[in-house]
Chain A
Amino acid sequence: QKEVEQDPGPLSVPEGAIVSLNCTYSNSAFQYFMWYRQYSRKGPELLMYTYSSGNKEDGRFTAQVDKSSKYISLFIRDSQPSDSATYLCAMSANDMRFGAGTRLTVKP
């Protein structure tokens, strides 16, 4: 079993939809949780960074961490075609572990 599990999708939604992306993990030592966005043929770029449990909001993006369930989520409100990308969750304790990434397409 991988330390970090992420459904690879692909996920296709119409413009304006609410998108929910999720990861589960097995290592209870993880304290820092991140979401990276990766456009095709580009390097990943940080989207959201949270420490421990709770919610964090940034514009149309909300990151949630539930450490008791070992589950993290990223919500995208009012999704746009420009949100079409692969979204990778990442988490760290003494080192960093990435999920496999979920490919999202937002159709106009």
Chain B
Amino acid sequence: DAGITQSPRYKITETGRQVTLMCHQTWSHSYMFWYRQDLGHGLRLIYYSAAADITDKGEVPDGYVVSRSKTENFPLTLESATRSQTSVYFCASTGGGYTDTQYFGPGTRLTVL
């Protein structure tokens, strides 16, 4: 599939479990981003990556880990999920710099019980 995809689309997990959310894009965009979207807060940046093997923290990175071994993939791992990490997670990518138009995936709705 062309574009940007996320998996799974829905996930229910328990407190303390490790969860990995996947993001894949087919455009060879250099920049990729992870956001969480919560009511009243809008989109908040968790981590971003400017290229393979280059990642950096965003606004709300605590409790999350990312990696980017290949340009097209940018997985987000919650090492020990907490209820406060219940949210909708969006992956985005852009071919230009940080300020360029970002293309978003469909989102992953995560519930931590």
Contact = CB atoms under 8 A, between A and B. Distances in A.
Given A96-B45, A100-B41, A101-B42, A41 B99 contact: no
Interface in B57-113: 58, 90, 92, 98-99, 101-107
Contacts of B54: none
A11 B58 CA distance: 31
Interface bracket on B: 10 to 19
A98 interface: yes
A92 B104 contact: no
17 contacts: A4-B42, A6-B42, A8-B40, A31-B99, A34-B101, A41-B107, A43-B105, A43-B106, A46-B101, A46-B102, A46-B103, A49-B101, A88-B43, A90-B43, A92-B98, A92-B99, A96-B98
List 7 A-B pairs, minimum CB-CB distance, nearest first: A43-B104, A100-B42, A98-B43, A92-B99, A98-B42, A32-B99, A46-B101
